[in-house]
Amino acid sequence: MPNSKNGALLQVANIIAFFATFIVNLLASFSGLNGRATGQISDLFPALFTPAGYVFSIWTIIYTLLLIFTMYQALPRNRDRGFMADIGYLFVLNCIANITWLFLWHWLYPAISVILMFILLGTLIAIYLKLNIGRSEASRNEKLAVHLPFSVYLGWITVAPVANVSAALISLGWNGGSLGPVIWTNIVLVIALIITIAVLVTRADVAFGLVLIWALSGIVVKNSGEPSIVFTSEAAMVIIALVLIWIAYGILSTRGVEKPKYNVIRKTKGYEIRQYGDMVAAEIETSGDLGSSLRSGFNALANYIFGNNSRRESIAMTSPVSIEERASEKISMTAPVMQELKGKGSVVSFIMPSKYTVESLPVPNNSAIRIRVIKARKVAAWVFWGRVTDSKFGIMQNAFVKALGADGIEISGMLLAQYNPPFTLPSMRRNELLAEIKQGA
């Protein structure tokens, strides 16, 4: 994390870099550099992958978002924030590459400009990964002012190098070789689709996907006379749209679902300490591995809250669903890396809506389900994402216990909490390991 002096210097550098890039791009687009506007240079090297002209209006959105980022990062309170350390001087380097590319492009050096385009792409990928976009626990403001600008920017620059390389090859007299430009364009479209799906599946980045749909729409319009390119582009748009719908399901399915309230006492790099109040839970003991235990327990508890109870009353769904292994041995803090829980069974539980007490809840018709109060407690919470398997659970558990042991925190038990419905995109599945901290620790 930068200190205040270095943080202030970085803020100023980002401001200067952004406005320099913005001004040079304005001059290139309207007044022209070397007597030509940017679009006129593109027309000199007609490539099938280059989209219709209207698509390039996305630069207005990109620079608006980057302006928001520049102003947000300039706020004094953000000087020493983690995202500033993550980005460092990568944004400044990105702006330098952007300006240099423009001069090479306008002075008709398309082949050399490819190098700068890939530097531009490389810095954006580095920023994207360092910010851990799509996976990090950033605030809403940070997601809108920092993550969103770089998602949109990277989405566009993921496509731009292909158009740049195509123009460079045309300038060198290459026009697709034995395959021809149409087949090569279709191959590149499929590659772009694969990259987009990979980002969507691993990061659930809606903005990135929308940018690619926008770019593909321009390729369809530009190549209306090439049926195979139109088909490939439209098919890619449909596939991306379907994945975006899947992502939307994951977002909307947890909206409005009540979650247990807690106060964050302390945050560390890997976990946080929380204080929970009293909660009422419905729980059931199950047997088998982690997956089968969760499925059987979930079905029994879901059956209870959906009306299989003494009053045939439906109870609102809450999250998370928790599963706790009944272990044959306690977790040892002395050898956490090697320690594995040898489970004899599990307890799966639903936290009941806060309006209920043990007395006011309907009695389960299933005698295996019990209702109990979970007393107020202090826990350490370790967040991770994705589908949970027995092996992944073991890896995460060992890493968590090791981190707690290094900090001298003693725990009395651990459970796995899962927040999303079964059909949620794996990368959007939020999971938490909740380790109850011993009293007085």
Report the candidate in 198, 210, 216 with the shortest Cα–Cα distance to residue 162: 216
Measured torsion, CA atoms of residues 97, 102, 105, 109, in degrees rounded to the nearest 10: -50
Note the pLDDT of residue 441: 56
pTM: 0.79
37: part of which helix (H) or strand (E)? none
CA distances from 115 to 51, 59, 97, 165 (A): 21, 21, 9, 10
* Domain residue spans of the chain: 4-252, 262-437
Report the candidate in 380, 429, 394, 420 with the shortest Cα–Cα distance to residue 290: 394
Please list, residue by residue across 381-400, b when 16 or more beta carbons sit within 10 angstroms of its beta carbon and e when fewer do.
Answer: bbbbbbebeeeebeebbbbb
Note the pLDDT of residue 2: 52
Q: How many CB atoms lie within 10 A of CB 99?
A: 18
Note the pLDDT of residue 374: 87
Report the candidate in 158, 56, 171 with the shortest Cα–Cα distance to residue 110: 171
Bridge partner list, 309: 364
Backbone phi and psi for residue 340, each to the nearest 5 degrees, phi listed first: -125, 145
Q: How many CB atoms lie within 10 A of CB 127?
A: 24
**Do 70 and 14 contact (CB within 8 A), yes or no?**
yes
Note the pLDDT of residue 13: 96
Note the pLDDT of residue 344: 53
Report the candidate in 267, 246, 274 with the shortest Cα–Cα distance to residue 380: 274
Report the candidate in 53, 17, 33 with the shortest Cα–Cα distance to residue 103: 33
What distance lies between CA 189 and its chain's CA centroid?
Answer: 24
Report the candidate in 353, 396, 394, 389 with the shortest Cα–Cα distance to residue 371: 353
Residue type, 260: P
- For 80-123, give the secondary structure using H, E and C: CCHHHHHHCCHHHHHHHHHHHHHHHHHCCCHHHHHHHHHHHHHH
Give 258-292 pLDDT, tens digit per residue: 888 899 999 887 899 999 999 888 888 887 777 77
**Do 190 and 161 contact (CB within 8 A), yes or no?**
no
Report the candidate in 437, 389, 395, 434 with the shortest Cα–Cα distance to residue 415: 434
Q: What angle do CA 232, 234, 237 make, to 5 degrees?
A: 110
CATH 2.60.40.10 fits domain 262-437: no
Q: How many CB atoms lie within 10 A of CB 306?
A: 13
Helix ranges restricted to H, 109-179: 110-131, 140-142, 148-171
Note the pLDDT of residue 19: 97
What residues contact residue 141 under an 8 Å CB cut-off, 6+ apart? Answer: 72
Note the pLDDT of residue 290: 75
Mean pLDDT (10-residue bins), the chain, 441 residues: 74 97 90 76 73 86 97 93 93 96 90 92 96 86 96 93 82 75 87 93 93 93 90 96 92 80 88 91 82 81 83 76 53 24 66 88 90 90 87 88 89 84 83 85 56
Give 6-39 pLDDT, tens digit per residue: 889 999 999 999 999 999 999 888 877 878 877 7
